[in-house]
Amino acid sequence: MDVAPYWRNFVGGAWLDGGAGRLTVEGPATGAPLAEQALADAADVDRAVAAARRCHESGALGGLRPCDRGRMVRQMGDWLRGHADEIAPVLTLESGKPLWEARIEIEGAARYFEYYGGQAETLEGRSIPLGAGYLDFTVHEPYGVSAQIIPWNYPLEMTARSLSAALAAGNACVVKTPELDPLTGAYFAKAAAAAGLPEGAVNILCGLGLEAGAALAAHPGVDQIVFTGSVETGVNIAKAAAENVVPCVLELGGKSAAIVFPDADLDAVMDSVRWGIFFNAGQVCSAMSRAIVHGAIHDEFVERAAALAQSLSVGPGIERPEFGANMGAMISEKQRDRAEGLCARAGADGARAVAGGRKLNRPGWFLEPSVFDGVDPASELGQTEVFGPVLSVMKFSTDDEAVAIANGTQYGLVGGVFTADMDRAMRTAQRLQAGQVFVNEWYAGGVETPFGGYGKSGYGREKGREALYNYVQTKNVAIRLGG
């Protein structure tokens, strides 16, 4: 499969080179150069924000009838779905994920446009009774220019998540794609043009975080920011947003835990382990990175989780077109070596590798699917987000102990409870400090269900109805009636 050798940024309806030159994108499965991407500098960011501002002020997007705007947003999703055969191999080659996972990601991205396109005309205000002589109502108006900074783990889905809702609400958008896998960002520009969105409504550019990313976050022409990425960068984004007094949504990391009670259906639990920590090679903010397992079933759980990890064939994503027991590369040498380092040091803290824990002896950024038993909840591996295919297993005996371990990190993105006892599941769900709780199936839910963090996992919600309100501000109109 040949990937186009050079990919430009899309600003104000035109394909542009970058002021900061070009970036070489490497293929994670080989470590070899894959293509070049135009690299934006601060002046390119200025151009993109100006194009979005012009689009907003012209009313070409925000002034459309919501049903017409929503239709265009849905058409972007249709376009992505219709071009899945073209997009999937590029996504696989730049991100390392298996081809079947790339297809799932494209479908997920398309779903966001379908869902939020359908919601465009539902942003209704309300009428507030003020007594005789007054009529009062609220309207929701777009902020104007929405800046969106995207991480590399799901470059399509993470972009689709914010772009679709922001456009549906009538905002012009500037998207800063991730440096490690920016190529597929170009397909949003193509989809927007094909759907007939006005010039400047969708601007897609890649640049370095510290240069283009920081310039975008601090830009005085931006009215609202969405950031998905690490806690460290999120703090910088929040500071930049505060300087300009604009709202931001932060979707940050996690160290999410599944609590497995003795009456859990272990087949279902293993299915959740497979998806929860080995899908996308564990590079998922809401991954099941910890399993807190009752002593009565701990040994069986560990044995089965280790066998599951060992059953996965690990190799180049492009050779893995069909859903199956397989896993791709991690995104970069740096991320892979960081994850391996966490595994290598875990033994000194008393943990035991029952599967994996090492990099593969072949080109590309591969880590073995890994399971560690006896992980001390307070240890480095027990507390640190690995962002890789590494499951930490911890044992518990009382419900209080399980909940305390689950809640005992700085994060609070998601949590899981596995039990046949719904009362116990509900009691535990109430006590988990997390923005989303899965009962008996990790990742249960979809674009319809609100998602976001407690604690240092961030604030604001993406997905679901809740996310639409990130992209609008409320105006109240109070009328004194004459006569």
Where along the sequence are the contacts to ligand NAD (CB under 6 A)?
Answer: 149-153, 158, 176, 178-179, 209-210, 213-214, 217, 228-230, 233, 236-237, 251-254, 285, 385, 387
Structure tokens at 471: 């992209």
Nearest approach, Cβ of residue 207 and ligand NAD (Å): 8
CA 466 to chain centre: 16
Asked whether 307 and 356 are in contact (CB, 8 A), the reply is no
144: left (phi over 0), alpha (psi -120 to 50) or beta: left
Helix (H) and strand (E) counts for the chain? Answer: 15, 22
Question: CB 434: neighbour CB atoms within 10 A?
Answer: 24
Cβ closest to ligand NAD, residue 198 vs residue 234: 234
Nearest approach, Cβ of residue 161 and ligand NAD (Å): 8
Nearest approach, Cβ of residue 149 and ligand NAD (Å): 5
Tell me if residue 251 is catalytic: yes
Cβ closest to ligand NAD, residue 152 vs residue 471: 152
Strand ranges of the sheet holding 14-16, from the earlier edge strand across to the other edge: 14-16, 9-11, 202-206, 172-177, 145-149, 224-228, 248-251, 458-459
Nearest approach, Cβ of residue 452 and ligand NAD (Å): 7
Cβ closest to ligand NAD, residue 119 vs residue 228: 228
Cβ closest to ligand NAD, residue 218 vs residue 264: 218
Q: Which distant-in-sequence residues (6+ apart) come within 8 Å of 148 by Cβ?
A: 159, 162, 163, 166, 173, 174, 175, 176, 225, 226, 227
Question: CB 376: neighbour CB atoms within 10 A?
Answer: 15
Nearest approach, Cβ of residue 220 and ligand NAD (Å): 15
* Complete DSSP assignment for 139-194: EEEE-SEEEEE--SSSHHHHHHHHHHHHHHTT-EEEEEE-SSS-GGGHHHHHHHHH
Nearest approach, Cβ of residue 463 and ligand NAD (Å): 9
Cβ closest to ligand NAD, residue 114 vs residue 179: 179
Please identify which of the residues 94, 157, 251, 462 carries the catalytic annotation: 251
Cβ closest to ligand NAD, residue 246 vs residue 306: 246
CA–CA separation, 298 and 370 (whole Å): 17
DSSP lists the bridge partners of residue 449 as none
Tell me if residue 206 is catalytic: no
* Complete DSSP assignment for 86-100: HHHHHHHHHH---HH
Asked whether 291 and 393 are in contact (CB, 8 A), the reply is yes
Cβ closest to ligand NAD, residue 113 vs residue 454: 454
Please identify which of the residues 173, 248, 285, 343 carries the catalytic annotation: 285
CA–CA separation, 253 and 325 (whole Å): 26
Nearest approach, Cβ of residue 116 and ligand NAD (Å): 16
The catalytic residues are: 251, 285
